């Protein structure tokens, strides 16, 4: 049950289809990572009031297209891409990595770093993985 992968994802966020596809992709990634509803909301920078929206996003309703939300999504997809490159033959590790403690993050999990530090934390985790991918 892997998330579709392409070397670069280009979306025209002006079309309903692209926005719908992006929503479905992100929500599937969250399922693969095994994230709770609260974690999903936090990573997207959404309030607890948006809880009911997550199901609609999974069904293709467009995620908010604010700069903050789109930046978060971009970094989250970069994390996914890097993990696919680092662990091409280990799907279990690829999807559990964000929840595993890591000495590079003071023995916190990448998920904890992303939740604690918001957009900065998400970018930090993505940049850490970029380093290991040699980019």
| Tens-place pLDDT, residues 59-117 | 889 988 899 999 999 999 999 999 999 999 999 999 999 999 999 999 999 999 999 99
The answer, yes or no, to whether residue 1 has pLDDT greater than 50, is no
For position 5, what pLDDT does the model report?
44
For position 90, what pLDDT does the model report?
97
For position 49, what pLDDT does the model report?
82
**Contacting residues for 105 by C-beta, under 8 A, at least 6 apart:** 112, 113, 125, 128
For position 3, what pLDDT does the model report?
53
For position 119, what pLDDT does the model report?
97
For position 6, what pLDDT does the model report?
42
Region 8-26 average pLDDT: 78
Is there a contact between 70 and 62 (Cβ–Cβ < 8 Å)? Answer: no
State how far the Cα of 89 lies from the Cα of 93, in Å rounded to an integer.
9
For position 92, what pLDDT does the model report?
97
């Amino acid at each position: 049950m892997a998330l579709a992968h392409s070397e670069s994802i280009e979306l025209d966020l002006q079309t309903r289809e692209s926005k719908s596809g992006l929503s479905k992709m992100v929500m599937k990634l969250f399922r693969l990572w095994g994230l709770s509803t609260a974690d999903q909301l936090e990573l997207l920078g959404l309030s607890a009031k948006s809880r009911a929206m997550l199901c609609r996003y999974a069904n293709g309703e467009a995620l908010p297209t604010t700069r903050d939300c789109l930046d978060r999504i971009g970094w989250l997809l970069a994390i996914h891409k890097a993990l696919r490159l680092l662990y091409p033959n280990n799907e279990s590790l690829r999807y559990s990595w964000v929840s595993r403690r890591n000495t590079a993050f003071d023995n916190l999990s990448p998920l904890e770093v992303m939740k604690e530090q918001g957009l900065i934390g998400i970018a930090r985790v993505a940049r850490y993985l970029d380093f290991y991918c040699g980019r």
